[in-house]
Amino acid sequence: MRFEAVIGLEIHAQLLTESKLFCGCSTKFGNPPNTNICPVCMGHPGVLPILNKKAVEFTIRMGLATSCTINKYSIFARKNYFYPDLPKGYQISQYELPLCSNGYLEIEHQNQRKKIRINRIHLEEDAGKSIHDQGNFTLLDFNRCGVPLIEIVTAPDIQTPEEAGIFLSEIRQIVKYLGICDGNMEEGSLRCDANVSIREAGSNILGTKTEVKNMNSIKNVVDALKYEIERQIEIVSSGGRIIQQTLLWNADKQIIEPMRTKEESHDYRYFPEPDLPIVEVNEEWLNVIRENLPELPSIRKERMKSQYNIPDYDIEILTTEKEFADYFEETAKFTDDYKSISNWFMTEILKILNEQKISIKEFPIKPEYLGELIKLINNQTISGKIAKEVFNEMLVEPGSPSEIIKEKNLIQISDEKIIEEIVQKVIESNQKQVQQYLEGKDKVFAHFVGQVMRETKGKANPSLVNKILKEKLDNLRK
Amino acid sequence: MIVEKVENYLKRIQDKKHLNAFLEVFSEESIQRANQLEKKIHNGESVGKLCGTVVAVKDNIAIKDKKLTCGSKILENFTSLYNATVIEKLLAEDAIIIGKTNLDEFAMGSSNENSAFGIVKNPYDEKRVPGGSSGGSAVAVASEMCDVALGSDTGGSIRQPAAFCGVYGLKPTYGRVSRFGLVAFASSFDCIGLIARDSISLAKTLNVISGYDLKDSTSSNQKVPEYDSIIQNLPKDNITFGVPVEFFNDGLQSDIKNKIFEIIEFLKSNSFQILEISLPHIKYSIADYYLLTTAEASSNLSRYDGVKYGSRIELPQSIKDLYTQTRDEYFGNEVKRRIMLGTFVLSAGYYDAYYLKAQKVRRLIQNDFIDAFNKVDFIISPTTPTTAFKIGEKTDNPLSMYLSDIYTTSANLAGLPAINIPIGFDSNKLPIGMQLMANFFKEDLLLQMSYFIENNFNKNKLGN
Amino acid sequence: MKITKELILHIAELSHLKLKEDEIEKFQIELNQILEYVDNLNEIDTSSIEPLSHPLPIVNVFREDRVEKSITREEALKNAPEATDEFFKVPKVI
């Protein structure tokens, strides 16, 4: 019997607002525990929530980017359950009328395009953090409590772990491009849970599904889904039944484990939040958001392809992250040698980002300086080799390329007279090699070039050096 | 003069301690503040609109750095970190807050017998209840322990104790006064309101505490009239009172019925129109009220869990025990009863039949009033079906306690303003109150009519 | 609608109330009485009626996305039943 998998994803993205969803506390990550809190997000007696407009706009941006219907009326609801990191004993979320519904995202996998439907995108508040491993107690930090989240729920249209990985990647890229979330799965600003079931291939009856959580990277999502699907297939193949349960992915052991706590009966007793009025999104507001929508990845790619005459492959790499594309286009303001920018980026910059594990935002060389550097190569002020040196210098020293060149006296020597002199000197002091060259040993040429470069500390214009050396040596033949 | 007034009030509070109206008295601070204000006046400095007005505050309204117990053991030692918006406003106008008054636990009750810190006694007959849940506030005003008191009204909790204690009690339109800092019982019903011995005091204070508040998304930005300066401007021509047929049935105590008829005659003799009206769905108000308010309450009270503030049991063995034992131990019976009912109403399988149904009935009840106010300016009724009942009389029968809210709950269901006006006494010399309801944001009219009745209808002054 | 003891226990569980034996019985009786009373709502035909969640027809109340002063950690922990210098503390959850 052949099986197929049915996968639906629930993705939570922390929104990049300055303040929390219902109060003015900062959302800044990494502050000392319990310092980004106030009576409102702590659920003190008598407090009331006030809705952050920007969070609503960010949610609508995501809805527009995924072709959702932006609902004209939308309401908040209370999701009631008890957990120590949920101060009010309920989470303000959305239930019956979410901000966005019925959208989709197209993904490409194995040369096939496929539409994954998005049932809904809604806005809700995050809970605090529980720390369980410090002893025979649990510690609570409410900094994260009240940070805005969007929840993206797909239809069970995903059929393989790889598709799930691609979908999640696309979502990640979009939220980053939209400027609404930093997409960091390791830090938890992007989280993914999956609902998984299997059925006989070709059937349209859904099997019992399990919920898989704790997958904190795209790779973990793919691995966990692979594991769970196999686990389910094994059970069903040997005549067993799938038990509906919540499972956790253990990335260290690379296995699926059941959740250790006893399942709370999931009766959330949703009802409309009485403390928050209805949200009405009229055409006017929607148009303002539409007009100000940051460029979506697919659109940016197309535009960059037509605007910069560089290979599609380069554009693909440059647009994998919005910040890469930003860096490129910023640099392109300072030089129109786009191919060079692309080359520098793909070979040097990416390497450094990977080695030092930093983001392009933390990369020390300003786009302006890279542009300047390329200009200086192109107008022959410095050679490509010296440029590399300047580049490396800029990684650790502040200062523009021109400043560094001046300081370190790296200007390319293009004065033919000076080069002639030096070439002459080198020829005269390397008679043995001259003899070898004249006898036909072409490889020795490189030796002369090397000597000239040494004499000039690498600053001699290489093409001039080549030209003059050849001339002089050929003259000697006569 | 202010200092003398405060000192007198403090003495009265002390002398009548056994009524248990106050949970906390700010003696030193009040005297200090009174001295400061007298100095300001003496120096010719400008002072606030409520300069020297002594206010008692129900202990479910937050005052920074003061205990906020809500009459409950679960918040017995809890200190508020902020001021409710109404408190900020009162302080900005130089009011003096003399203390926190006793209440039914979390404002749930109609007799002030549900406080974890002892019952409150009715000054007219100490064997009887003062009403609830703002019992402490009503007694503080009736016994002259303050000028005016803040209370909260979710189903009658200001008007009913005001009626039982023979004082004026106003529930404003929902959203007229900010709820920020009022400990939530039922969020779409709760109103902060006022209790005083005369209509002008209500008006002056309402001026100050009303208005849009950024911190309360359900507060209204309707303009706030100068209630006190227009209080004498009752538009005497063309005023109609609606008398709902549904309100005069068997359960109503006969002296009360007679007194209401008396006042209707008085109104007629002053050329006001009287019209019989019908509020067809009014008989469902209590059921509707109890379904919806307990549902909201069950959610609002989930935050009292012993985790981040409030009482916690000793040595919890597990997190589950911490929650369940703390809540069972430190919540009183009425609170637990309502949480249970509310949880049931919202639970899977019952939501549609109970909660959703109740919300639809709420719409019908509100519609009844909207229709009525197309024809009349006021709706007149008794405030309570009986005068103050005896302590312990209804505690064994929660349902009979709930049924005594028959006249007051509909105003909260619809969100309308309503006032209790004391109009006499029954054969046991217990106060009788009448209720007037008006259309949304017509507190000005209510106060004008209250003032008119106060000054023109012959009623006995307060004995004390 | 009759509330069984089972249902009472279920509701108590959802409400996180650890009821004692006598409480369970008492609540069962009281809740049944109340429910009997509220069942008269079923008389009314509400099939075409819109539910009322907010008494006033307010829409779109927002705040600007601006950071405002919070309280200090000391203030936040002030009312905590149990805490360290930095965290709130409860019995181990998992």
The pLDDT tens digits for A67-111 are 999 999 999 999 999 999 999 999 999 999 999 999 999 998 888
Residue A263: is its pLDDT beyond 60? no
Nearest CB partner across the interface for B218, out of C33, C40, C54:
C54
* Minimum CA–CA partner of C8 in chain B: B340
Tell me the C-alpha distance between B21 and B130, whole Å. 10
Cβ atoms within 10 Å of A306's Cβ, excluding its own: 9
Q: What is the pLDDT of residue A262?
A: 54
What are the boundaries of each domain within chain A? 3-287, 295-407, 416-477
CB burial of residue B49 (10 Å; 0-12, 13-18, 19+): middle
Q: How many beta carbons lie within 10 A of that of residue A216, not counting itself?
A: 18
Mapped onto helix, strand or coil, the DSSP state of residue B99 is strand
- Note the pLDDT of residue B461: 43
| Residue B230: both structure tokens together | 């227009």
Query: C86 to chain B, minimum CA–CA distance in Å?
Result: 13
Domain chopping of chain B, boundaries:
1-464
Distance CA B449, CA B439 (A): 13
Q: Does B183 touch chain A (CB under 8 A)?
A: yes
Q: Chain B contacts of A82, Cβ < 8 Å? A: 302, 305, 323
Flag whether pLDDT at B460 surpasses 70: no
Residue numbers in C near A131 (CB within 8 A): 87
Q: How many CA atoms lie within 13 A of A219 on its CB side?
A: 4
Catalytic member of B137, B157, B219, B404: B157
pLDDT at residue number A93: 98
Q: Which residues contact A433 (CB under 8 A, 6 or more apart)?
A: A444, A447, A448
The number of beta carbons lying within 10 Å of the beta carbon of residue A427 is: 20
**A49 contacts in chain B (CB < 8 Å):** 217
Tokens of B268: 């007629």
Per the CB < 8 Å rule, is C52 touching B305? no
Task: Let me know: does A152 contact A121? Beta carbons within 8 Å.
Answer: yes
The H-assigned helical ranges of B80-198 are 85-92, 135-142, 159-165
pLDDT, residue A204, reads: 87
pLDDT at residue B45, rounded to an integer:
96
Q: Which of C14, C17, C58 has the CB atom closest to B336's CB atom?
A: C17
> pLDDT exceeding 90 applies to what percent of chain A?
72
Angle formed by the axes of helices B27-42 and B2-15, to 10°? Answer: 160
Question: Which string of DSSP letters, residue by residue, matches A383-434?
Answer: -HHHHHHHHHHHHHS-S-HHHHHHHHT---B--HHHHHHHHHHHHHT-HHHH
Q: Which residue of B has its CA nearest to A23?
A: B215
List of chain B residues whose C-beta atoms are within 8 Å of the C-beta of residue A44: 80-82, 309
The CA distance from A298 to A113, in Å, is: 14
Q: Does the beta carbon of C11 lie under 8 angstroms from any beta carbon of chain B? A: yes
Which fold would CATH assign to domain A416-477?
Arc Repressor Mutant, subunit A (1.10.10)
Q: What is the greatest pairwise CA distance in chain A?
A: 101
**Averaged pLDDT, B62-91:** 98
Averaged pLDDT, B119-136: 98
pLDDT at A382: 85
Instruction: Please answer whether residues B256 and B426 qualify as being in contact, where contact means their C-beta atoms are separated by less than 8 angstroms.
Output: yes
Confidence of residue A226 (pLDDT cuts 50, 70, 90): very high
State phi, psi for A151 to the nearest 5 degrees.
-115, 125
A261 pLDDT band, cuts 50/70/90, is low
Share of chain A above pLDDT 70, in %: 99
- Phi (first) and psi of residue A149, to 5 degrees: -130, 145
Report how far residue B37's alpha carbon sits from residue B33's, in angstroms, rounded to the nearest whole number: 6
Q: What is the mean pLDDT of residues A346-371?
A: 93
CA distances in angstroms from B172 to B156, B412, B434, listed in the order given: 12, 10, 16
- Mark whether B133 is an active-site residue: yes
Q: Do B343 and C49 touch (CB under 8 A)?
A: no
Tell me, yes or no, if B124 comes closer than 8 A to chain A by beta carbon: no
Q: Do A24 and C54 touch (CB under 8 A)?
A: no
B299·A39 Cβ contact <8 A: no
Please indicate whether residue B217 is annotated as part of the active site: no
State how far residue A150 is from chain C, nearest Cα, in angstroms: 16
Closest CA to B31 of B7, B1, B60: B7
Query: Tell me: the pLDDT tens digits for A152-176?
Result: 999 999 999 999 999 999 999 999 9
Instruction: Check whether A318 has a pLDDT greater than 50.
Output: yes
**pLDDT band at A36, cuts 50/70/90?**
very high
Taking CA–CA distances from C41, the nearest residue in chain B reads B284
Q: CA angle, corner A251, sides to A249 and A257, nearest 5?
A: 35
Residue A477's pLDDT band, with cuts at 50, 70 and 90, is: confident
Give the whole-number percent of chain B exceeding pLDDT 70: 98
Over 70: is that where the pLDDT of B278 sits?
yes
- Chain C interface, mutation test: which of B80, B335, B341, most C Cβ atoms within 10 Å? B341
Report yes or no: C46 at the A interface, CB cutoff 8 Å: no
- Select from A46, A275, A276 the Cβ nearest to the Cβ of B181: A46
Which residue did the predictor score with more confidence, A322 or B125?
Answer: B125
Do the Cβ atoms of A48 and B215 come within 8 Å? yes
Mean pLDDT of chain B: 95
Q: Residues 341-360, chain B: which have Cβ within 8 Å of A?
A: 343, 346-348, 351, 355
Distance separating the N- and C-terminal Cα atoms of chain B:
22
Q: Name chain A contacts of B216, Cβ cutoff 8 Å.
A: 48
C-chain residue closest to A42, CA distance: C76
pLDDT at B462: 45
Superfamily of domain B1-464: Amidase signature (AS) domain (3.90.1300.10)
Q: What is the ipTM of this complex?
A: 0.96
The verdict on whether B58 is a catalytic residue reads yes
**pLDDT beyond 90 at A260:** no
Summarize the confidence of residues B119-147 as an average pLDDT: 98
pLDDT digits (tens, 9 = 90+) for B41-58: 999 999 999 999 999 999
Q: What is the pLDDT of residue B31?
A: 98
Q: What are phi and psi of A150, to 5 degrees?
A: -105, 145
pLDDT at position A128 over 70? yes
pLDDT digits (tens, 9 = 90+) for C37-89: 888 899 999 999 999 999 999 999 999 999 998 899 999 999 999 999 999 99
Helix (H) / strand (E) element for B259: namely helix B254-269
DSSP state of A349: I
- A24 neighbors A38 (Cβ within 8 angstroms): yes
The residue with greater pLDDT, B245 or B251, is B245
- Rounded CA-CA distance B357/C41 in Å is 8
pLDDT digits (tens, 9 = 90+) for B311-363: 999 989 999 999 999 999 999 999 999 999 999 999 999 999 999 999 999 99
Contact A147, A154 (CB under 8 A): no
**C5-42, what's its fold?**
Histone, subunit A (1.10.20)
Domain ranges of chain C: 5-42
